[in-house]
Amino acid sequence: MIHTVIPVSYGRPATDALADAIAEVKSKGGPLAPVTVIVPSNIAGLYARRLLGARRGLANVSFVTPFRFAELLSADVLVDRRPLTNPMLGAAVRVALRDDPRPFGDTADHRATEDAVARLYATVSHLSTNARRALAADAWGALMVRLYERVHAFVRMYDDDNDVARAARARDGLDAALDPFGALVWYLPEPVTDELGLLMRACFDAAPAHVIVGRTGDPDADAEVRRACRQVGVDLDAAGDGDAGPLPTASTLISVTDADEEVRHVISSTWQLAESGTPMHRIAIVYPVHSPYLRTLHSQLAAARMPFSGPSPFTLADTVPGSVLLGVLGLDELNWRRDRVMALVASGPLRHRSGAAQPAAWERVSRAAGVVGGRDDWDRKLAEWQRYCSARAIEAGEVAEHSANEEDRSAGVVEAGSYSARRWRSDALAAEALRGFVADLGSALDVVRAATEWSARADAAVSMLETLLGTRRTRWPDEQLDALDRVTDSLARLHQLDAIEPAPTLGAFVSAVEAELEASAPRVGRFGAGVALVPLAAAAGLDVDAVFVLGMAEGLCPSGRLDNALLPESLAERTDGEVATPTARLHIQHRQLLAALAGAPAGRRTMTFARGDLRTSRRHLPSRWLLASASELAGEPVLSDELDSCGVVAEVASFAARLASGTAPASEAEHDLALVSAVAEPTAHPAIGSAGRGIVAQRLRRSREFTEWDGNISGHFAGSPADDAKPMSPTRLETWATCGMRYFLGPVLGLRERDDPERITELGALDKGNVLHKVLEDFVTEALSTRVVPAPRNTWSDAQRRRLHEIGDELFDQLEREGKTGRALLWTEQRRVLHQNLDRFLAEDDRQRAARGTTPDEVERSFGIDDAEPLSVELADGRILRFRGRIDRIDRTADGAPVVYDYKSGSGSKYEGWNGDADAVMAGTVLQPAIYAEAVRDPSSSEAVEAALWFLEPKADKTFRTVSIDGRARQRFRDVATTIVDGVEAGAFPAVPGEWNAFFRTHANCAYCPFDILCPADRGEHAAAKADEIAPHRRGLEIEPDGEAET
């Protein structure tokens, strides 16, 4: 029977009351008299055991949660217990909804529906008979009760926590079974399920019991505790209210920028407490929600090298075995997307046949092969790439061998050829290995898919996992070895589902595996060794020397007021508190907060508030409960908009402001930053390290000087276009004229944009341009070879028009096979537009031939490519530039004069406003017409050569932009080329961002630049400030109205 009922405040008064209750039992029964303390959580039990053990020592005192108490009491009567697991419940839900999808209809097989019904089952299963009857009195409630019963019909042979409590209560000789437990102490009661409540009532009637009830002093917050006591038959009214005292409030309130800074500030304060003598294990950090706090706490505490213990932020799915298993099982749903397969390869020490997987090499070859997704795509493209690499390896080897036999070839050429051969051979082997890996992985997954039973699928998954991870694991960390055992055990448990869902789909199997792998990883650290991380829901029972409560913002603490879709508030109100309403949940969270604050002395309670979330740019409102503490400290009500000015909140303006304030640094990095920021010249401090260059870079970029951080690398020779052994394309010089920084990052450093084939949504601009060029090349070449090119005033025949589209379809189909066309729907529209462009080309061609009196004569004339001699252009000072390129098309007039065409597949916006007569090279950004004209010019003739840019897109403002390359234009080209070469040789690569473009939200020259994200956001201001310093290097590109070049 219940001997005493003691209402107490949380924290130290509760601990003292527990100590007195245990002492009373020991005084009557002796020091070895058994005592069982039923605690609200394992954390509460650990704190109580540690504190009481340090005071008087503990002998034969056990600390258990209510459910663990029921398990121990029923252990000998539920010998063959078969626990109901989450995957079992999930299988039962799927079968029940498959048999009768009401009330969900077409959404019955959605994962969110299954999860919601599983939560409904857990809630209704814990209700008393009266509560279920109350639900069934409502039409919707009756539907939910029947849904629960349909699910329960499939799992009634398994034992849940209600069955455990029921078996313990119904056992024979309950009095005798309770003897080993001795006196019972219910410490800080929390609401329990109906069956657990009945069990505890029976036990308290059969054995001596004491109840220590935690009180906050807030009637609403304490309401659930009162209900829990009524469940068990504890008469709180007879016990009185006790001395609850005033509501616990915080003694210190901190306002910071975001959650990361909250954690850093708390760590800083913890160091200060430790320095003043507070043991770290006597400090608790309480967080209201896991995200973002738990992972942030773990990472920041590890960076600070501060010992701590607490829940792990990770699950089995985050471990290597878990992520590998889920990664493989998810490949079919993602159509074997290249990036997902590569993520799987990089997720752990995978094995393939007798060797290790090669993440770096396989990533490179899969990208080069253009793999998008689908097992056929992997097989075909890797096979093609393997053949291509093998051929290139043989070709490179022959070059090296041939070079070795010629005396006039240097050893460097031989070495380069040998290296190239080895590289291509290595890529061929990597492609072969990756192709085999994907094929083997697909076969293993086929075995999982082909299995029709849970047990067969689970065994196939275990076999697949063991094959992928291999058997040599001597270097694996212990936690990953343990995780592998737990993952394997999880798969073994799925065998039991054959009795519930005999023929599961692969999706159901994957869902069950995901549910199993949601289990948390083991706790981190040993309790009592360092700062304790405590979730707010487990804060009752805290007894520490200092407590920090994070996340005091509306939406976090208190959490959002969300209703239950299947058991809304109107139904929950019918259950007399057994189903918590949103309002009740708010009061429960308030009690948890008050218990957390009461767990530390009045002067050692800190609340922190993050004013926003820098990741989402959202502002937070301070918690109503933080405002209550602020009002208590201020002695008057404090409203939300008065928090900053009330004088009782310590506001930390920023991370830098906290460092400058002289508070204890949270980590070694903060310590160094604080030292550096305190001196007049941070870059001179020895602790600055390589970060000093970053500070210097920011200063110099904001200055008016043209420095190394702006592209001025004078004194460091970056090569010269005039010295390059390989011919260069005209666009290389155009790049410098457009933007020197783009030239530096591209041709000098060799950086380029990386394409992800699997992320292509539509045909890219480069591929579109290439395919249009190829279609027109093949079409005109065929017409020339068959001598069916129309005369200047004749049009292309209908048969020729059909042939143009046939060639287009052939090449468009090839693009599809190469995986370059993106989404099918978008490609259908793009393909239609491309055919329209081909029709437009023929119409424009008919018009321009008639107007100019020309006939196509040649296509794709090469210079500097495929053994063709490069075009050499001598500058005034004797330097020679060597060019390579392909001229799209050359027409001839009746007298044989050439007309050069360069096809452009873009919109032509770059050329709007260009007057070729005024400046044939457009300040160096359009050099192709001049170079192509030079390549076709008759050396013996001084006649001008007409060159035209031919825009294939209908949205271009003009189809042709023509320039006459005469003697004046040729000289202009050489002058501009001299300016560009001089700039490169001088190491001058200034950024030229151009005007701000509001549509693209970047500068004009940066809109399509692959290096846009690498340059500073304020590049426009930098360029304007340095204009005078940059001007001498670009003098000669522009033309003044009077014809003289200027900057």
Neighbours of 749 (CB within 10 A): 11
Mean pLDDT value across residues 288-316: 95
Whole-angstrom Cα distance, residue 808 to residue 813? 8
Distance CA 839, CA 644 (A): 68
Helices (H), 532-653: 569-572, 582-598, 624-634
Residues 6+ apart with CB under 8 A from 425: 389, 390, 393
- Rounded CA separation 444/992 (Å): 55
pLDDT of residue 1047: 39
Q: Which residues pair with 510 in a beta bridge?
A: none
In sequence order, the 6+-apart residues with CB closer than 8 A to the CB of 381 are: 369, 370, 371, 818, 819
Q: What percent of the chain has pLDDT over 70?
A: 97
Whether 442 and 375 have beta carbons less than 8 Å apart is answered as yes
Q: Can you give the pLDDT at residue 1000?
A: 76
d(CA 74, CA 167): 6
* pLDDT at residue 243 in the model: 60
Q: Compute φ and ψ for 91, nearest 5 degrees.
A: -65, -40
**Beta pairing class for 252-256 and 183-187:** unpaired
Give the residue among 751, 750, 758 at the shortest CA–CA distance from 367.
Answer: 758
Q: Does the pLDDT of residue 402 top 80, yes or no?
A: no
Mean residue pLDDT across the chain: 91
pLDDT tens digits, 168-185: 999 999 999 999 999 999
Q: What is the rounded distance in angstroms from the CA atom of residue 650 to the CA atom of residue 656? A: 15
Helix (H) or strand (E) holding 436: helix 411-450
**Is residue 241 predicted with pLDDT exceeding 70?**
no
- Both structure tokens of 175: 């009095």
- pLDDT higher for 557 or 906? 557
For residue 877, give the DSSP letter: T
The set of residues, in sequence order, having a beta carbon less than 8 Å from that of 228 and lying 6+ positions away, is 189, 190, 191, 192, 197
For position 691, what pLDDT does the model report? 84
pLDDT tier for residue 409 given thresholds of 50, 70 and 90:
very low
Q: For residue 903, give the 3-state DSSP assignment.
A: strand
Indicate if the pLDDT at residue 411 is higher than 50: no
pLDDT band at 242 (very low <50, low <70, confident <90, very high): low
- Judge contact between 948 and 960, C-beta under 8 A: yes
Between CA 412 and CA 422, with CA 418 as vertex, the angle to 5 degrees is: 140
What is the dihedral angle through the alpha carbons of 733, 734, 738, 740, rounded to the nearest 10 degrees? -10
Strand runs labelled E in 305-463 = 308-309, 351-352, 355-356
Q: Is the pLDDT of residue 741 over 80?
A: yes
Neighbouring CB atoms inside 10 A of 129's CB total 8
Q: What is the DSSP letter of 856?
A: E
Tokens of 259: 């959650």
- What is the C-alpha to C-alpha distance for residues 894 and 899, in angstroms, rounded to an integer? 11
The answer on pLDDT for 413 being more than 50 is no
pLDDT at 296 over 70: yes
Provide Rg for the chain, Cα atoms: 39
Q: For residues 927 and 682, give the distance between their C-alpha atoms in angstroms, rounded to a whole number.
A: 47
How far is it, in rounded angstroms, from Cα 40 to Cα 195? 16
Query: What is the arithmetic mean of pLDDT over 434-462?
Result: 96
Residue 719, pLDDT above cutoff 90: no
- The tens digit of pLDDT for each residue in 815-863 reads 887 778 887 889 999 999 999 999 999 999 999 999 999 999 999 999 9
Burial 1009-1025 (b: 16+ CB within 10 A, else e): bebbeebbeebbebbeb
Q: How far apart are CA 662 and CA 1001, in angstroms?
A: 40
In angstroms, the CA 270 to CA 304 distance is 11
Q: How far apart are the first and last CA of the chain?
A: 99
Residue 239, token pair as written in the block: 């016990």
Cis ω on the peptide bond leading into residue 558 (within 30° of 0)?
A: yes
Mean pLDDT calculated for residue range 887-905:
95
**Per-residue pLDDT reduced to its tens digit, 90-99:** 999 999 999 9
- DSSP 3-state helix, strand, coil percentages of the chain (rounded to 5)? 55, 15, 35
Which range, of 152-156, 392-396, 454-458, averages the lowest pLDDT? 392-396
pLDDT-derived band at 408 (thresholds 50, 70, 90) equals very low
Instruction: Let me know how long the chain is.
Output: 1047
The reported pLDDT for the residue numbered 406 is: 47
- Could you give the C-alpha distances from 900 to 879, 963, 965, in angstroms and in order? 26, 10, 11
Look at residue 137 and tell me whether its pLDDT is greater than 60: yes
Per-residue pLDDT tens for 157-168?
999 999 999 999
Query: Within 13 Å of residue 684, how many CA atoms lie on the same side as its CB?
Result: 4
The per-residue pLDDT for 569 is 93
Find the mean pLDDT for residues 517-541.
93
Which pTM does this prediction carry?
0.82
Q: Is the pLDDT of residue 45 over 90?
A: yes
Secondary element (H or E) of residue 280: none
The token pair that represents 990 in the structure block: 């200034």
Supply the pLDDT for residue 382: 95
Q: How confident is the model at residue 414 (pLDDT cuts 50, 70, 90)?
A: very low
Percent of the chain with pLDDT over 90: 75
> Model confidence over 198-238: pLDDT tens digits?
999 999 999 999 999 999 999 999 999 999 999 999 988 87
At residue 822, the pLDDT reads 80
Average pLDDT over residues 583-604: 96
Measured in degrees and rounded to the nearest 5, phi and psi for residue 930 equal -65, -40
> How many C-beta atoms lie closer than 10 Å to residue 600's C-beta?
27
Decide the pairing of beta strands 996-997 and 1002-1003: antiparallel
Calpha distance 520→313 (Å, rounded): 8
Distance CA 599, CA 937 (A): 91
Residue 407 — very low, low, confident or very high, per pLDDT cuts 50/70/90? very low
Q: State how far the Cα of 472 lies from the Cα of 302, in Å rounded to an integer.
A: 30
Q: How far apart are the C-alpha atoms of 157 and 88, rounded to whole Å?
A: 11
